[in-house]
Amino acid sequence: MAVLLFFILLSSPFLVLDAMDTNCPAVKCSPDSPNILFPFSLQKRHPQNCSYPGFKLDCRQNETVIRFPSYGRDLVVKSICYKTKKLSLLDPENCVHGVFLNLNLSKSPFRYYYVVKSYTYLNCSAQLSPPFMQVPCLSGSGYHVYVVEEAFLDMPISCRPVKTIAIPFSYSPYLSDNSFGLGFTWDLTGFEDFQVKPRLMRCFSCVHGKVLSIFTFILMVATLVGVKTYCSNISWVDNLFRSCKSLKHASYTRDDTEGTRIQITAELISGNKEVLQSK
């Protein structure tokens, strides 16, 4: 019984973790969508506490999307590489520089996957001649948007700086793909405490009554073992008292006593103490 209790206690943490994995499985929005695993979770598909804050994804028209707090629109999740920690996104509006201009990663666990460099966005009332290249998706009638390096000094009279930010690259008509540059990685610094405590909380919230049932069963087994041990001790004490009472009322002849003394002496001489212990 004690061995059974030991194996139950040893296996209970693994039962809890297995239950957690069962309740936070890999899911996807469509057959062609990426698998969503920890530290990400999919809203309405995973329990509430299956991911870190900021790692919640959603499904929109069979596509996996993410929405950053500082950005008012959804970005489509193209792929997730968990080994290299790379999150590749697509801009449904096909305006990567619009994302660069308005996305603020300072309050999120993400940063650009590629090396960044400081660039300045210019809003110009007149169109500039080459080598300046206008960003079509940010420009309109009467205004023209350009991206220049931060060290750019010859500011045209018709232009004013809008914002200087660190982004992977400047605008190029040859890099007009709506995913190029929208590669991100994640940093779990600051989540050290969350990795332990909320992960335990997530275990209990995912398995619901399973954990309670396991520990209730363990308590019952421990109680049964204790009761059996107690009853065995009581039985041994009762037998001892019965033996004492029988010895108290037993009568021995002089010859019986002398014979026992001689046998004990012989056993002591031979070094065998087993008979002495049994007397």
- The predicted-structure confidence for 32-84, as pLDDT tens digits, reads as follows 999 999 899 998 888 877 888 889 999 999 999 999 988 889 999 999 999 99
Residue with tokens 């596509």: 63
CA distance 276 to 4: 37
d(CA 214, CA 20): 14
Q: How far apart are CA 39 and CA 54, in angstroms?
A: 10
pLDDT higher than threshold 70 for residue 198? no
Amino acid at 12: S
Q: How confident is the model at residue 221 (pLDDT cuts 50, 70, 90)?
A: low
| 0.85 surpassed by pTM | no
pLDDT in tens, 223-252: 766 656 655 656 654 665 565 555 455 555
Mean pLDDT over each residue of the chain, to the nearest integer: 75
Residue 134 DSSP symbol: B
More confident call, 86 vs 196: 86
| Closest alpha carbon to 92 in 197, 1, 179, 30 | 179
**Kind of pairing between the strands at 144-149 and 183-186:** unpaired
The 8-class DSSP code of residue 174 comes to: G
